[in-house]
Structure formats: C-alpha cells, structure tokens
Amino acid sequence: MNTGSDAVTVFLVDDEASVTAGLTWLLESVKIPSRAFSSATGFLQAVHDFSGTACAVVDLRMPEMSGLELQQQLIADGIECPLVFLTAHGDVPAAVNAIQAGAVDFVQKPFNPDAFLASVRKAIRLARERREDQDMHKDVRQRLEHLSARERDVLQGLVDGLTSKEIARRLNISPKTVDVHRANVIRKMGTERSAELMQLLGRQRDVIAESRR
C-alpha cells in the first residue's frame, strides 16, 4: 500500500450482501469511497494487491473465517489496515479481544449511523497517519543512502546525544571535521538547521538504527 493520495478506501467485509449494500450507501452519502466483499479470503486477496490507503469494517462472525481470524492473518502478513468490527450483542467479549489486538473500534448491530461513521472516520484518520509514517520512513531511508560512512558515524553520534567534541573523540577526528560532516548530514537529510535535524531524528530513530546494520 504505497500511494500519497489523501483518499482512504473503506473495505467492507460481511457475508450478508444486504449489510454491505447498506453500508456502501451510507458511506457514499458522505463521499467516503468503499469496496464490498462477501468473504474474508476475497478481502485478503484484494488488500494484498491494493496500492492505496485503506481501512476496513469487518463482521466479527463469518462462516469461512471469523473477524478475529482475519485480524490475526493481517497481522501475520504484516498488513497495517485499521479495523472496525461489526458485532452482535453477544459478541462484545470477542470484540474487546479484537480491540486488545489493535482494532480501532467495534459497533454493535443494529448500529446508529452517526456512531458507525464516527468509528469509520477514526479508522480513516489512523490509516492516513500510518501512511504518512510509512512515507516518511521511506523518505528517510532514501536520504540515509546518500550519506557517506563517516557521515553516518557522525549522525549516530548526534542520535546518541553527543556534542561535536564527544563525537570527535569517539571517531578520533577533529571537532572541526565533525562540524563539516554534520553540515553535510543536515543538507543531505533535507533539513536546514541542527534543531530541525534533531526533530527528524527523534521521530525516525528506528529507521536510522536499521541503516547501521
């Protein structure tokens, strides 16, 4: 899933066609794009092939694969797709388990349209945030590839909170040379000053750590 578009598609997964038809109509009424699926396997195939940003509304009880099983399959496949579960009254304990496993929310049938849309919008916001994080991670990785080995050493020192003198002692080079490398790092990372670079480093520590392996 790798597009920069702001549009978020809501996948609707329920074995009852009347349910997905009603939800499709409701989402269309507020201009939210959606795609309906009558089975979990159909949804899984589609979400694997989908290149946009998405979240999903999933029925907790389906004959072929339950909503919880579907959630676990998405986790196992490494697919980050925020989920909202549709539940019957007796499914609340299972829905709580789904929330504990990372679901955004659950809506009991019969549901209030406004409450349903509020839950979907919450999932849409989360989907956008995750996409923005993924795009930022990708961008930072690409910028890191343009750093020289020594510039990466200096960057690591900055991540560790060291001063130029401390980095110089670690690398056995002069503080002036460290400052030159730091200026190059600031430029290559697409920032304009040290404070902006440090803000970026604070949000992307895991990506920077990966680049050192």
Give the residue extent of every domain in the chain. Answer: 8-132, 145-211
Fold that domain 145-211 belongs to in CATH? Arc Repressor Mutant, subunit A (1.10.10)
Structure tokens at 3: 């597009």
What whole-number distance in Å separates Cα of residue 113 and Cα of residue 174? Answer: 65
CATH architecture entry for 8-132:
3-Layer(aba) Sandwich (3.40)
Integer distance in angstroms from the first to the last C-alpha of the chain?
25
Per-residue pLDDT tens digits for 88-126: 766 777 777 778 778 898 888 888 999 999 999 999 999
Q: What confidence score (pLDDT) does residue 1 get?
A: 39
Place of tokens 């999932």: 123
| List of the chain residues with pLDDT < 50 | 1-5
Residue closest to 152 by CA, chosen among 122, 116, 189, 107:
189
Which residues does 7 contact at the CB level (< 8 Å), separation at least 6? Answer: 33, 52, 53
Q: What confidence score (pLDDT) does residue 201 get?
A: 72
Do residues 26 and 34 lie in contact, with contact meaning Cβ atoms separated by under 8 Å? no
Residue closest to 186 by CA, chosen among 147, 212, 131, 138:
147
> Sign of the CA dihedral 148, 143, 140, 49?
negative
Q: What confidence score (pLDDT) does residue 166 get?
A: 94
Distances (CA, A) of 147 to 152, 158, 186: 6, 14, 10
41, containing H or E segment: helix 40-49
Q: What confidence score (pLDDT) does residue 213 get?
A: 54
What whole-number distance in Å separates Cα of residue 85 and Cα of residue 107? Answer: 6
Structure tokens at 79: 């697919």
Q: What confidence score (pLDDT) does residue 99 get?
A: 80
Helix axes 164-171, 149-159, angle to 10 degrees: 130
Residue type (1 letter), 148: S
Q: For residue 38, what is the DSSP state?
A: S
What whole-number distance in Å separates Cα of residue 46 and Cα of residue 9? Answer: 12
Q: What confidence score (pLDDT) does residue 203 get?
A: 62
Task: For 76-117, give the DSSP string.
Answer: HTT----EEEEE-GGGHHHHHHHHHTT--EEEESS--HHHHH
Q: What confidence score (pLDDT) does residue 199 get?
A: 77
Q: What confidence score (pLDDT) does residue 211 get?
A: 57
User: Model pTM greater than 0.95?
Assistant: no
Place of tokens 């996948």: 11
